[in-house]
Amino acid sequence: MDKKEYSFEESLEKLESIVSSLEKGDVPLDESIKLFEEGTALIANCNKLLENAEQKVKMLQIDENGDPNEVPFDEGE
């Protein structure tokens, strides 16, 4: 994969294309390995983007005084 940073959507689209190519089974082994490596880099990029997005997500809660209070997003809620 080149050094270009892809958006989440671009990464997902490229990953879907790679999976489709590999599922066909007609890609030579050396090309399959390159595609697999590119796919793992795309997955890492998607994970990084999701982690960054999760850090930005805030939930508003009302404190005991009725004032809004920003708290970090919690997956459990």
Predicted local distance difference test score (pLDDT) of residue 59: 55
DSSP string, 8-77: HHHHHHHHHHHHHHHHH--S-HHHHHHHHHHHHHHHHHHHHHHHHHHHH-EEEEE-TTS-EEEEE--TT-
pLDDT digits (tens, 9 = 90+) for 38-76: 999 999 999 999 988 877 765 556 677 878 777 766 655
Domain boundaries, the chain: 8-72
Predicted local distance difference test score (pLDDT) of residue 1: 46
What's the whole-model pTM score? 0.68
Which residue has better confidence, 1 or 26?
26
Grade residue 18 by pLDDT with cuts at 50, 70 and 90: very high
Counting every residue written for the chain, the total comes to: 77
Whether the CA torsion 55, 60, 63, 69 is positive or negative: it is: positive
Whether the CA torsion 42, 48, 54, 57 is positive or negative: it is: negative
Pull the structure tokens for residue 6.
Answer: 């892809």
